[in-house]
Amino acid sequence: MGFKRSPQTFSAKVNAVTIGTGEKAVTIGGENVFPLYSFDAPIENKPKIGVQISDRGYNNAVAGIAEYYKGAENFVDMAKKAALMPGADFLVLSFESANPDAENTSVEECAALAKEIAEAVDMPIVVEGCKNKEKDAKLFDKIAAALEGKNSLFLSAQEENYKEIAASAGLAYKHKVGAESAVDINLAKQLNVLINQMGVAGENIVMNLGSAAAGYGFEYVASTMDRVRSAALSQNDTMLQMPVITPVSDEAWSVKESIVSQEEFPQWGSMEQRGVSMEISTAAACLAAGSNAVILRHPESIATISKLISAMCDKEGN
């Protein structure tokens, strides 16, 4: 008797969330199978890739990144170039300079830049804050107003500032809200419940479950994503059915493998190649564990992961 494969599909689904407007809008989630299990049922929406640019620029970045943005004189120029990057589906604007410990750029300045970029490119926009929770709450409020109608995603609301971000980005300006928790299924669900209780529908929330670079405790990330997906699909847990977006680049480009120079560790080889490998392996692991979107930085990583997604999700011959 031949092997008969019984597809493992579920009646529950991951929410499909659309970011952006018009032709370039992207939709993540929507599948009713485990991550990348395209052999069980077609993946409703392929995982997507965001290209991340920082308002502090990439002049000192590794050659591949610096080269790509060469000639860009400001953040808007960078955004225009990033929007053309092969393999990228959406643009991720990181307003790092707004951090009070960095340049402490004013929220008005950031909002004006965001608006200018939104007018110059037609890619969906994901907004990242400055990793200062108080400032992010104010920053997102202003940017959400500036980007009204653009259906952007704001990363992220956390337990400490979800109220302001949900009220402003989520309710007043009708954007999507990113809910960030620290690699724990219960904390993730609790934050979703809190944001939902503010009045933001589950269908307008995207989860950032937290991450680690591959090899840096990634097994926690994998098991958390795994269980979140399992609860969403097999238990129909509506408070865990949000699609998952994972900012990979911040983690991947800050570990030792990606930052010590070749002079220091000649036997390790090229620093840039190490960083790219870190970014690719972490992103691939996230996609396999359940991320519906990853945020990356290096053109080579983006091209590689894009190819990987096609190979995993497209029907043969496509």
Partner 1 sequence: MFNIIFKSDNCPDIKTSAEKGANLLETALLAGVLIDSPCAGAGTCGKCKIKILSGTLEYEKNIHLSDKEYSEGYRLACQCRIVSDAEIYLPSSLSAFKSDIKTASLSSRDELERYSLLLSKVFNSGIKKDESSSGFGLAVDIGTTTVSAVLIDLKSGYVKAKASAGNAQIRYGADVINRIIASSKEGGRTRLKKAVREETILPLISSLCNEAEIEPEKIIKCVIAGNTTMEHLFVGEDAQSIRLEPYVPKFLELHGKTAADVGLPISESAPVIFAPNVGSYVGGDITAGTLMTLIWNSEELSLFIDLGTNGEIVFGNKDCLLCCACSAGPAFEGGDISCGMRATDGAIESCAIDENSMEPVLGVIANVPPAGICGSGLIDLISELFRTGIINAKGKFVKEGARIKHDEYMGSSYVVAFASQSADGKDIEITETDIDNFIRAKAAIFSAVRTLLSSLDMSVDMIEKIYIAGGIGSGINISKAIKIGMLPNVEERKYSYIGNSSLSGACAMLLSKEAENKVFETASNMTYIELSTYPGYMEEFIAACFLPHTNALLFD
**Which is nearer to partner 1, 183 or 294 (by Cβ)?**
183
User: How far is residue 150's CA from residue 41's CA, in Å, rounded to a whole number?
Assistant: 32
Q: Using the minimum distance from each CB to partner 1, give the nearer residue, 112 or 194.
A: 194
In the complex, least distance from residue 159 CB atom to partner 1, rounded to whole angstroms? 7
226 binds partner 1 (CB under 8 A): no
CB of 233 to partner 1, least distance (A): 16
Which of 155, 231 has the CB closer to partner 1?
231
Measured distance CA(36)–CA(38) in Å, rounded: 5
Site for partner 1 in 158-217 (CB under 8 A): 159, 163, 184-187, 189-190, 193-194, 197
Report yes or no: 226 and 290 within 8 Å, Cβ to Cβ.
yes
The CA distances from residue 231 to 31, 186, 226, 309, in Å, are 14, 11, 9, 24
Q: Give the residue ranges of DSSP H helices in 172-268.
A: 185-197, 218-234, 249-252, 256-259
Site string for partner 1, 48-87 (x = CB under 8 A): ----------------------------------------
Q: Based on CB atoms, which residue is closest to partner 1, 187 or 213? A: 187
Question: What letter represents residue 307's amino acid?
Answer: K
- What's the first-to-final CA gap in the chain, in angstroms? 32
Q: Which is nearer to partner 1, 197 or 318 (by Cβ)?
A: 197
Between 27 and 132, name the residue whose CB sits nearer to partner 1. Answer: 132
The minimum distance between CB 161 and partner 1, in angstroms, equals 11
Total residues at interface with partner 1 (CB under 8 A): 11
User: By C-beta, is 196 or 208 nearer to partner 1?
Assistant: 196
Give the β-pairing of 176-180 and 153-157: parallel
Could you tell me if 155 and 293 are in contact, meaning their C-beta atoms sit under 8 angstroms apart? no
In the complex, least distance from residue 221 CB atom to partner 1, rounded to whole angstroms: 16
Using CB under 8 A, which residues numbered 103 to 162 contact partner 1?
A: 159
Cα–Cα–Cα angle for 216, 155, 243, rounded to 5 degrees: 75
Pairing of strands 17-19, 26-28: antiparallel
**How would you list the strands of the sheet with 125-128, edge to edge?**
205-208, 176-180, 153-157, 125-128, 90-94, 48-54, 293-296, 245-247
Rounded to a whole number of angstroms, the minimum distance from the CB of residue 186 to partner 1 is: 4
Are 24 and 11 a contacting pair, CB within 8 Å?
no
Distances (CA, A) of 25 to 18, 33, 55, 124, 125: 7, 23, 23, 6, 9
CA 124/CA 25 separation, integer angstroms: 6
Of 189 and 274, CB closest to partner 1: 189
Nearer to partner 1, 64 or 202 (CB): 202
**What burial class does residue 253 get, using C-beta atoms within 10 Å of its C-beta: 0-12 exposed, 13-18 middle, 19+ buried?**
buried
Binding site for partner 1 (CB under 8 A): 159, 163, 184-187, 189-190, 193-194, 197
